Structure 1
Amino acid sequence: MAFDHQEEEQLASLKAWWARYGNAATWVLVAGLAAYSGWAGWQYYQRTQAVEASALYDELQSSVGKDNAKVQRAAGDIESRYGRTLYAQMAALTAAKSAFEANDLKTAKAKLQWVIEHGNDEYQAVAKIRLAGVLLDEKAYDAALKALDGKVPEKFTAAVSDRKGDVLAAQNKLAEARAAYQAALAGTDEKNPARQLIELKLEAVGGTVPEPKPAAA
């Protein structure tokens, strides 16, 4: 009987607790389950988006150099349906290059601008440098320099300075171009193949290439 009595006391305590806290506890539990369900659903959605975007990106890549119109359609589909994935940024950069090679500068600029507005820091930097190059070809020098404004990840600062040098040299602003190329050289590793081209451009605007640093003993 003692056991039965103890059970009754426990049951009575449980009923009292439930009467006081049960409704709130249910809401907390439901909220927790909903949050987990939402998180799991989001993870599944992200994986599905990536897989589908990857398939479209492969299709886009197979058309590069063959069918610019198809490249642009595939890139547009990826941007509209999977705009939050990295594939959208890669597709836009690829489409911009394809359009440029097809002499469709308007589309090339639009794709690069999309990456600048929607991409992560690294893809934005690449798009800025390429957009400035397109604008340089169009002799839109002020717009090219403006495209290079703003912060970029450190590993892209030398490339940005190099592009600024190109634009300034085209404007015949030789002193400013020299400063830009010197900044580009300062940020470029001596083993980087691009360094030689920067040195040539610096010399072309009347600059002096610094002596290489002596090898460590």
Structure 2
Amino acid sequence: MRPTSQSEQEQLESLQKWWKENGRTVIFGVLLGAVGVIGWSSWQAYAIRQAEKSSLGYERLVNLVNDKSRDEAIVQGESLIEEFPDSGYAPLASLIVARLAFERNDLEKARANLRWVIDQGKSTPVRRVARLRLARILASEEKWEEAITLLNGDAGAFQGLYEEVRGDILLARGKVAEARLAYERSLAGSGRPVGGELAERIRMKLSDLGNAPTSGRTDIQ
């Protein structure tokens, strides 16, 4: 499986850091409406418990992934999503579960988790990551139109990656000229030139277009 691209990983790491620092405050805000019903003291204690449990649950998930305990990580991730679906940790956990499921070739579970993030996630960057990854899975299954639909619309900082996948899909369908245009848009990124790993990869694809394969699996990042 191709490793997660640098720009995508940096975005996710920033979101994870933000939630680690601010997740408890956000959960307090979500639960604020309960104050009048259960009383301030009870609410405060409950909110603290929920914030700590969701934070610790996500930390445990990350540790399990780092320890290569994939089966346990999937169980932990699904438990966190079920128990704290409205927290900012749930979509991040769902992205992790989707990636682990993909690595086990459980595409149904991977798709379901990514669709959940797209439908339920409150963070626009996280939803964009989910759209990108789901598009890759659908492309690997040759569900071209569904994949392209996910790539349409505002991609924000992920524009270069979106156009790369669009180019891969067009190339797989034999539309070489359109694929070239998509790759060129990928190099332009979101209105500015891109560098690093993505630019190098796209330039290689552009130079190899004449020998590009007409089908094949597109990896999820």
TM-score (norm 2): 0.68
- C-alpha deviation, 1:194, in angstroms: 1.4
Gaps of 5+ in 2: 1-31, 211-221
| Counterpart selection for 1:142 from 141, 145, 155 | 145
Partner of 2:126: 123
The superposition leaves residues 68-114 of structure 1 with CA deviations (integer Å, 9 ceiling, x where unpaired) of 33222222221122112221111001111111111111101111111
CA distance in 2, matches of 1:178, 1:184: 10
Structure 2 distance, partners of 1:193, 1:125, is: 20
- 1:55-204 to structure 2, matched below 5 A, reads 55-64=56-65, 66-119=68-121, 120-152=123-155, 154-187=156-189, 189-204=193-208
Which residue of structure 2 lines up, in the alignment, with residue 21 of structure 1?
A: none
State the identity as a percent: 34
2:160 partner amino acid: A
SS in structure 2 of the partner of residue 193 of structure 1: helix
Alignment partners' CA distance in 2, 1:35 and 1:73 = 31
Q: 1:46 to 1:89 in 2, by over 3 A?
A: farther
Deviation at 1:167, TM superposition (A): 0.9
The offset of 1:51, in angstroms, is: 1.8
Equivalent residues of 1:131, 1:144 under 8 A apart: yes
Contact 2:167-2:179 within 8 A present in 1 as well: yes
TM-score by length of 1: 0.69
| Alpha-carbon distance change, 36 to 141 in structure 1, aligned in 2, over 3 angstroms | closer
Instruction: Extract unaligned runs of 5+ from structure 1.
Output: 1-33, 207-217
SS in structure 2 of the partner of residue 84 of structure 1: coil
1:68–1:102: 8 Å Cα contact kept in structure 2? no
Q: Structure 1 residues 50, 37: closer, same or farther in 2, change over 3 A?
A: closer
Letter in 2 for 1:54: S
Residue type at the aligned position of 2:205: K
Distance (whole Å) between structure 2 residues aligned to residue 51 and residue 177 of structure 1: 47
Per-residue displacement from partner, 1:123-153 (whole Å, max 9, x unpaired)? 011011111111122222222112223323x
Residue of structure 1 in register with 2:15 after alignment:
none
Identify which of structures 1 and 2 has the higher relative contact order when contacts are C-alpha pairs closer than 8 Å and 6+ apart: 2
Letter in 2 for 1:146: T
- The CA RMSD measured in Å over matched residues stands at 2.6
Moved over 3 A (4+): 34-48, 65-69, 188-191
Alignment-mate amino acid for residue 191 of structure 1: G
Q: How has the CA–CA distance of structure 1 residues 176 and 48 changed in structure 2, closer, same or farther, with 3 Å as cutoff?
A: farther
Aligned residues between the structures = 172
How far, CA to CA, are the matches of 2:47 and 2:162 in structure 1? 33
